[in-house]
């Protein structure tokens, strides 16, 4: 574990975590909602620092980031825990676990693995990276020095302090919105009060010049209101700009929502239509491999400039400045497709880490040990024991 950066003292013993918008106030021996940040003897610690439950190389399009270094490979890492409690989470075994487990890897080791696997960057994903921000920061700073980029897949439920901190190393973020940012949906299925902190985070990320793509998981019956989708699209245009890429993702039954059906493709298409009507230029359907709305179309001439199937790029019709080869319109993309890109060469790479130490920790017991040791020391000082 490592002492946290993102916290403040409330008094001699109590602390407030400022990593996420929950701002948990903790007494000694208490662990925050996320399960990995706790008060140890009057200071906040990231209890899972350097302990990874998942590490793998993925295509960047899996995040999804389709307008940021397309065709690249990213080393993806995660710890346990999360600051949300999504009833539909496909990674619930990682995110909702409240027992810290994984392989011990120092930041330098993570960057070394990224370089050895030929990764172009590192993505902090699978669970919410905000909660292990200090570890991500230490990895990310080293990664940048080695010429790697850093991206988050995040729910965006952060604080201004957290955005300031991540701006020291982060290059891009996929911000995952659910159910069209409906606050009733958020309270029932995510266990947050409202989406306001997410919108504030998005504006801060924009101000920090961090590249943003947005996803919206569309869930039948409870998170597919078209009026809410229109309101969300309008907010994005007005606050982030019409060239912000937006992905409407198909829901599939998982975790506590197995009784809900997959999202009808027609519903996703309706969402795309509405978003375009509101002025968004790059709108996609996700989790429907082979759908025409996986492709990038030139906002000026309407021709497909990037043709995709799933995570792979099949056709590329942009010049070196990312201008449409048909009409010259500048497409909002950071980076360009590498000359040696091959859609038939897998970008999924298994990362063997069995030589690393595997640990299993009860976070509550860990912070209580600190409380007991403090009490013991105080008793010794008082001559009680």
Cα–Cα distance measured from residue 217 to residue 225, given in angstroms and rounded to the nearest whole number: 12
- For the chain, give the number of residues: 385
Cα–Cα distance measured from residue 149 to residue 233, given in angstroms and rounded to the nearest whole number: 28
The pair phi, psi for residue 370, each rounded to 5°, is -65, -40
Q: What is the pLDDT of residue 379?
A: 41
Q: pTM score > 0.85 for this model? A: yes
**Helix 133-145 crosses helix 107-116 at what angle (to 10 degrees)?**
50
With cut-offs at 50, 70 and 90, classify the pLDDT of residue 374.
Answer: low
With cut-offs at 50, 70 and 90, classify the pLDDT of residue 381.
Answer: very low
DSSP secondary structure letter of residue 318? B
Cα–Cα distance measured from residue 140 to residue 123, given in angstroms and rounded to the nearest whole number: 9
Cα–Cα distance measured from residue 26 to residue 28, given in angstroms and rounded to the nearest whole number: 7
User: 267-303, pLDDT tens digit by residue?
Assistant: 999 999 999 999 999 999 999 999 999 999 999 999 9
User: Domain segments of the chain: what residues?
Assistant: 2-47+364-382, 51-280+334-350
> What's the mean pLDDT when you consider all of the chain?
95
Q: How far from each other are the two terminal CA atoms of the chain, in whole angstroms? A: 29
**Helix 226-239 crosses helix 196-207 at what angle (to 10 degrees)?**
30
Check whether domain 51-280+334-350 has CATH 3.40.1530.20, yes or no: no
């Amino acid at each position: 574990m490592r002492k946290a950066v993102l916290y403040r003292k409330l008094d001699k013993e109590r602390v407030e975590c400022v990593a996420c918008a929950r701002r948990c106030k903790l007494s000694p021996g208490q662990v925050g909602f996320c399960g990995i940040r706790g008060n140890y003897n009057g200071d906040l610690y990231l209890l899972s620092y350097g302990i990874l439950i998942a590490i793998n190389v993925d295509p960047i399009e899996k995040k999804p980031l389709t307008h940021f270094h397309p065709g690249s490979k990213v080393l993806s890492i995660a710890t346990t825990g999360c600051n949300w409690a999504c009833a539909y989470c496909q990674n619930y075994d990682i995110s909702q676990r409240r027992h810290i487990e994984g392989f011990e890897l120092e930041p330098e080791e993570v960057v070394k693995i990224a370089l050895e696997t030929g990764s172009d960057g590192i993505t902090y994903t699978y669970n919410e990276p905000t909660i292990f921000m200090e570890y991500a920061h230490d990895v990310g700073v080293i990664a940048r020095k080695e010429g790697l980029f850093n991206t988050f897949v995040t729910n965006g439920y952060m604080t201004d302090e957290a955005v300031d901190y991540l701006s020291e190393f982060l290059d891009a973020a996929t911000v995952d919105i659910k159910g069209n940012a409906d606050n009733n949906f958020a309270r029932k299925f995510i266990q947050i009060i409202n989406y306001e902190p997410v919108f504030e985070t998005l504006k801060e990320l924009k101000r920090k010049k961090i590249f943003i793509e947005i996803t919206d998981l569309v869930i039948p019956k409870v998170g597919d209101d078209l009026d809410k989708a229109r309101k969300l699209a309008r907010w994005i245009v007005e606050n982030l700009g019409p060239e912000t890429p937006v992905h409407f993702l198909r829901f599939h039954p998982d975790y506590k929502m197995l009784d809900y059906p997959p999202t009808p493709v027609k519903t996703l298409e309706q969402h795309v239509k509405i978003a375009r009507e509101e002025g968004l230029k790059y709108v996609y359907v996700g989790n429907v491999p082979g759908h025409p709305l996986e492709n990038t179309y030139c906002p000026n001439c309407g021709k497909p400039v990037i043709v995709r199937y799933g995570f792979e790029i099949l056709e590329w019709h942009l010049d070196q400045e990312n201008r449409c080869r048909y009409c010259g319109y500048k497409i909002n993309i950071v980076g360009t497709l590498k000359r040696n890109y091959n859609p038939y060469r897998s970008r999924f790479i298994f990362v063997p880490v069995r030589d690393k130490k595997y640990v299993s920790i009860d976070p509550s017991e860990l912070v209580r040990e600190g409380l007991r040791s403090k009490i013991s020391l105080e008793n010794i000082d008082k001559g009680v024991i």
